[in-house]
Amino acid sequence: MSRNEFYVSTDGEDANPGTAELPFHTLERARDAVRELKRKGDGRLPEGGVAVWVREGRYELREPFVLGPDDGGEAGRPVVYAACENEIPHISGGRVIEGWKTSDRLGLQGAQLWETSLPDRTWRFRDLYADGKRLQRARYPKEGILEFGVPEVEKEEFFAPGAADVIGDKLKSVTVPEGVELPSDLSGAELLSINQGGWATIRVEIERLEGDRLHLKDPLGMLTYYWKSTRLLGNGKAFVENAFALLSDPGEWFLDGGIGALYYVAAEDEGPNEKEFIAPALDQLLVVKGEPGRPVTNVIFKGLRFEHVNWRLPDFGYRPVLGCYYGTQTTPLVFDDDPRIEPAVGPVPIKAGGLLGKEKHPAYSIPSAVDWAYAERCRMEGCSVAHVGASCIGLGEGCRGNAIIGCEVSDAGGHGIHIGMPHGPMCVEDFAWKDAGDEPQDNSVEHCRVHHVGEMDWGAYGIIASYTQRTRIAHNEVAFLPYSGICAAFTWFAFPSEREEEITVERNHIHHVMLKLRDAGAIYTKDRVSTKSALRGNVIHDAGSGDTWNNGIFLDDGSGGFRLEDNVVYDVLLPIRFNRCEPGDFKWGRNYFSEAGGDNWVADKARKEIPDIPSIVWIPGGAEDPVFPGEIVKAAGPAATYRAFWMQAEKQL
């Protein structure tokens, strides 16, 4: 071994020298060895930097792996944490659960209910996996949703004295649908409800069932003066999850935290002790955290698999607005006593950051398993992040020049990848970086495969860029999501933020999105951006399930500045939609849209949505049509080398 590399193995010992023959046992020991090497070089690494080679196996972390300002490299001398060739190390925040035995607590027929005792009764988790598959917590109904009765709230009620408290109390109960019989013991269970706009899901804890009413610990939704409506409240479409009395179907589970018992319903021919059950024990796995003026620089991660991360329901419930940003209280988010605000009138010309009300109305962004802040020129390549309760990857304040390349991101409760993820409180409807130097800049997500995210909050995005500068999202495949695929250019107001953000979204393959919610698109924008920005060469199909509010490209209120060219949208009911913006707010190259499916009125509506754009080429048929731009389709999505890597990795798992 040269002095420029170290090895880590599950069979190693931290007392070893870290050679290939005598490797370390933990990543922390290898990190400390890199620090020692750096100290010996008067703060610099040797020529070529240093590599930490990680052998295959599962590394069960007892705490997140953290890299700080002293753990980075420099140009030409990076710090690399990489999998050994043809090996897949699993960096896990989970614990294996064993010792299953049959249980008669429910009195199910046969030996279907199994239970085991947790080694630590204080251990709480919301996700459970068996042989790599996410399992369903006990719920009712087993599929689909119910129509609960939600108290009506009139717009005028929002502006009455003490509105927040009055309406908050009003929204702490819902009516059970007629003919539905729920078990009496639902204490600690959760109600998941779609909001009244159809683009977010709310989770609150149930206190009790009383007659035909479910009483909730927190209000079903958030109040806001700015929106001037009830769209942030639950709409009654909901289901109940996480109660022992709801256990019935194979694959369901329930954790009784009071006695430290875990229950699982198995199929008649299934033996739980023959499977590998894993539950998350950590809230984060990898934290790359520098400081203002002292970033973590030039760190590279290659070929590592990060998995099994917990997410805890906030004490005040999970009451989000758009994009997995959630509020802590029911109080209106925009100052009702600010002279610049006239709630009963329309939007007012205030730039993002003009209110900065996080002290009075704090809100947060859902966290990430892989979490970066003040990181510069760092990279993840050929890695995977999966089986997490919140979001997979988040690049926050001070992140500059970083790249996520060729990674597979899947099975997340929240977003797949969030560029511009804030840490700490903010005013959710007026979010902007208080310190301009914190704005993430020059970051990219390329050749990644993002799929099956939004498992906890259906309103999550595959990839989202919020309040960033010069961001590039290119050659990714984004698929099988309950909501929108890629969100670019984000602001809370219904008018432009005047930030002139520059963002490029090009040559992505986005399909089978908008599968549960509505009012978005495979690509979604919500701000006016620099004219250097582009939506280019993206291939979109199979977005939505027949709702005309599900679109290929949705240019929402305040959008503008993008150049749209060489985009291909087919097998989508409505290829493009404008809301509070016009075609003249954008620049246009040639784009290819299929004739809208369904009734003729839908096709007519689609054409009316995009008037006076002669460069639009309408594809009468599907992919077999001679007009169909095959070369654009072939160029979209990840490069073949990365697709081959994922296929090979899946064979080894």
Same domain, 275 and 367: no
Q: Are 263 and 279 in contact (CB under 8 A)?
A: no
Weakest-pLDDT range from 22-26, 204-208, 308-312, 329-333: 329-333
Whether 514 is in a domain gets the answer yes
- d(CA 368, CA 358) in angstroms, rounded, equals 21
276 and 424 together in one domain: no
Phi first, then psi, for residue 37 (nearest 5°) are -60, -40
Helix (H) and strand (E) counts in the chain:
5, 55
Q: Are residues 426 and 473 in the same domain?
A: yes
Mean pLDDT of the region 520-548: 89
**262 with 388, same domain?**
no
* Average pLDDT rounded to a whole number, residues 543-557: 79
**Phi then psi for 630, rounded to 5 degrees?**
-60, -35
Look at residue 70 in the predicted model and tell me its pLDDT: 95
**Please, which residues have CB within 8 angstroms of residue 116's CB and are 6 or more apart in sequence?**
97, 98, 99, 100, 101, 261, 262
Q: 599 in a domain, yes or no? A: yes
Residues 87 and 100 in one domain: no
- Spatial distance between the Cα atoms of 163 and 329, rounded to a whole number of angstroms: 13
More confident residue, 103 or 33: 33
Categorize the per-residue pLDDT at 618 as very low, low, confident or very high, splitting at 50, 70 and 90. Answer: confident
Same domain, 479 and 410: yes
Residue 287 within a domain:
no
Categorize the per-residue pLDDT at 152 as very low, low, confident or very high, splitting at 50, 70 and 90: confident
For residue 476, which of 631, 638, 633 has the smallest C-alpha distance? 638
Beta bridge partners of 574: 551
Residues 405 and 482 in one domain: yes
Does residue 112 share a domain with residue 12? no
Report if residue 175 sits inside a domain.
no
Strand, helix or coil for residue 603: helix
Domain count, the chain: 3
61-91 burial code (b ≥16 CB/10 A, e <16) = beebbebbeebbbeeebbbbbbbbeeebbbb
What is the distance in angstroms between the CA of the first residue and the CA of the last residue of the chain?
29
Residue 341 pLDDT: 42
pLDDT confidence of residue 219: 87
Same domain, 274 and 389: no
Q: Is the peptide bond before 141 cis (omega within 30 degrees of 0)?
A: yes
Q: Are 473 and 508 in contact (CB under 8 A)?
A: yes
Beta pairing partners, 365: 325
Distance CA 324, CA 418 (A): 10
Task: Give the lowest-confidence range in 91-105, 428-442, 612-626.
Answer: 612-626
Over 70: is that where the pLDDT of 624 sits? no
Beta carbons of 316 and 132 less than 8 angstroms apart: no
Q: Which of 291-305, 335-349, 386-400 is predicted least confidently?
A: 335-349
94-113 pLDDT per residue, tens: 999 999 998 887 766 555 89
Residue 160 resides in a domain: no
pLDDT of residue 11 exceeding 70, the answer is yes
The predicted model gives 494-514 an average pLDDT of 87
pLDDT exceeds cutoff 60 at 229: no
Q: What is the tens place of the pLDDT at every residue in 42-76?
A: 989 999 999 999 999 999 999 999 999 999 999 99
- Catalogue the long-range contacts made by 82-86 (C-beta closer than 8 Å, 24 or more residues apart): 82/51, 82/52, 82/53, 82/54, 82/300, 82/301, 82/302, 82/303, 82/304, 83/53, 83/54, 83/56, 83/302, 83/303, 83/304, 84/53, 84/54, 84/55, 84/56
Is residue 120 a part of any domain in this protein? yes
Residue 345, class by beta-carbon neighbours within 10 Å (0-12 exposed, 13-18 middle, 19+ buried)?
A: exposed
Specify whether the backbone of 163 is left (phi greater than 0), alpha (psi in -120 to 50) or beta: alpha
Which residues contact residue 171 at a Cβ distance below 8 angstroms, ignoring those fewer than 6 apart?
150, 151, 153, 216, 219, 220, 221, 233, 234, 330
The pLDDT, as a whole number, for residue 327 is 78
Is 127 inside any structural domain?
yes
Query: Does the residue 150 lie in any domain?
Result: no
Final residue belonging to a domain, choices 92, 114, 146: 92
Burial annotation 199-232 (CB, 10 A radius, 16+ → b, else e):
bbbbbbbbbebeeeebebbbbbbbbbbbbeebbb
Alpha carbon distances (Å) from 415 to 240, 421, 436, 451, 458: 23, 11, 25, 10, 9
DSSP code for 155: G
Where in the sequence is the domain holding 644, given as residue range(s)?
349-652
Mean pLDDT of 198-214: 92
Same domain, 488 and 366: yes
Q: What average pLDDT does the structure give for the chain? A: 86
Residue 547: pLDDT band (50, 70, 90) is: low
Predicted TM-score of the model (pTM): 0.93
Sign of torsion, CA 426 428 434 435? positive
Same domain for 64 and 99, yes or no, is: no
Q: Is 29 helix (H, G, I), strand (E, B) or coil?
A: helix
What CA–CA distances, in Å, run from 194 to 171, 221, 484, 560? 14, 10, 15, 29
> pLDDT band at residue 353, thresholds of 50, 70 and 90?
low
Do 561 and 644 lie in one domain? The reply is yes
